[in-house]
Amino acid sequence: MALLITKKCINCDMCEPECPNEAISMGESIYQINTDRCTECVGHYDTPTCQKVCPIPNTILKDPAHPESEEQLWDKFVVLHHADKI
């Protein structure tokens, strides 16, 4: 499932440059995650980098509105980064 940045976000700018899928951008008041691009770092890292670098605990969580299996996250990774090979 894609990740979600909660209202606990303090706009510290730590997560955006760390996202390998360029899924994080500034929203109206806090950063937001584009669910079409978020793979929870599947294909890149073992754990989501945005969660690792966020200084506020429990600010970036799994988005219950966008459930995805690991296979679906892998498929999304392939389309985002290897579309020329499919």
Domains and CATH numbers, the chain: 3-85 (3.30.70.20)
pLDDT of residue 69: 96
CA 13 – CA 10 distance, rounded (Å): 9
pLDDT digits (tens, 9 = 90+) for 34-73: 999 999 999 999 999 999 999 999 999 999 999 999 999 9
Q: ∠ CA 7-73-21 to the nearest 5 degrees?
A: 60
Whether residue 1 has pLDDT greater than 90? no
pLDDT of residue 84: 82
pLDDT digits (tens, 9 = 90+) for 72-86: 999 999 999 998 876
CA 24 – CA 14 distance, rounded (Å): 10
